[in-house]
Amino acid sequence: MNKIKYALCIFIAATVTCAVVFLPYLYYSSIDKRDINNYVTESYSFESKNDNITSEELISLLSSDEAIWLESNTYSMYYDGKQFNDLLDEIDSAQPLLKSAFNDNELANMAIEKFYEVASQISAYKVQEVTVNGEINGSPISVTLLDVVYSDFSENGAGEFEILMDKKTKIVYEFKCTPKEPIVQDDFIDEHDLNETVEQNLREQTCFALCDYWGIEGEHNYNVETSFYSFYFNIMPLAFTDYEFNNYNSIMYGYDKTDSGYEISEKNNYY
């Protein structure tokens, strides 16, 4: 009789154990199979972005509070020799278009040559690649910008150099060349006798050339500073670092919101 009880207890225990272990498995397996049979495959697509944007669109995009800024780590290992050469090749690809824009401007050409001379000799102080995404006039647009800064320090002083370019179109939107010594050669200085009229003429030449280069009208508030000691231009009134990652108040700097984006108001006259 006891043997029957023991056998019955073992059988009941085994049955309960199997039920606890295997019943949930069988239940959820049947649920999974049912769900698989009911799956509906759907596809989603994003509207393609125009990444070959005009200068007008760039101005609207950078001054938009709604643009999305994404930083790349392409040059995170910049101090590696290969990355140094890759970066130099990248910024050098902008040189032909840039030089062609200033065919008759001696100051601009000497500044460009000085910039690339420095870039080929020293490491950059800052390298930043940013993709800016947004919507202009109802269409999605995107631009990948490369910003490179060089600082040339020595006992003779300090030089500052910067280039901001569109990686796809190779258009330069911000450029700075402030070397430790005058940009122009001694014979150029002697010939023009540091005449203010000459500097003003060179500045006007630079402005006209940039309008053609960027494809914009003269009423835009771009920034141009030229002298025998410094050459700087920027398609925006402020430096790129003031706009990056929506790091500024657009209205404060003279931009008013319109249905089609931002336009420069009459509040400030940068140029």
In contact, 210 and 224? CB cutoff 8 Å: yes
Question: Is the pTM here over 0.75, yes or no?
Answer: no
Q: How far out from the chain centre does Cα 114 lie? A: 24
In contact, 167 and 178? CB cutoff 8 Å: no
Please write the tens of the pLDDT for every residue from 189-207.
666 655 667 778 888 999 9
Q: How far out from the chain centre does Cα 69 lie? A: 8
- Which sequence spans correspond to the domains of the chain? 1-41, 55-264
DSSP β-ladder status, 261-264 and 255-258: antiparallel
Q: Report the pLDDT value the prediction gives residue 79, as an integer from 0 to 100.
A: 58
Per the listing, tokens 């790129």 go with 240
CA-CA distance, 144 to 154, in Å (whole number)? Answer: 33
- Give the mean pLDDT of 57-81: 81
> Would you state the structure tokens that stand for residue 155, as one six-digit string?
């006992």
> Would you state the structure tokens that stand for residue 179, as one six-digit string?
């070397």
Give backbone dihedrals phi and psi of 168, rounded to 5 degrees, phi first. Answer: -90, -50
Nearest Cα residue to 127 out of 167, 74, 173, 178: 74
Q: Report the pLDDT value the prediction gives residue 264, as an integer from 0 to 100.
A: 42
Please write the tens of the pLDDT for every residue from 103-127.
888 889 999 999 999 999 998 889 9
Please write the tens of the pLDDT for every residue from 143-176.
999 999 999 877 677 899 999 999 999 999 999 9
CA-CA distance, 254 to 256, in Å (whole number)? Answer: 7
The one-letter amino acid code at 265 reads S
Give backbone dihedrals phi and psi of 261, rounded to 5 degrees, phi first. Answer: 130, -135
Residue with more model confidence, 237 or 265:
237
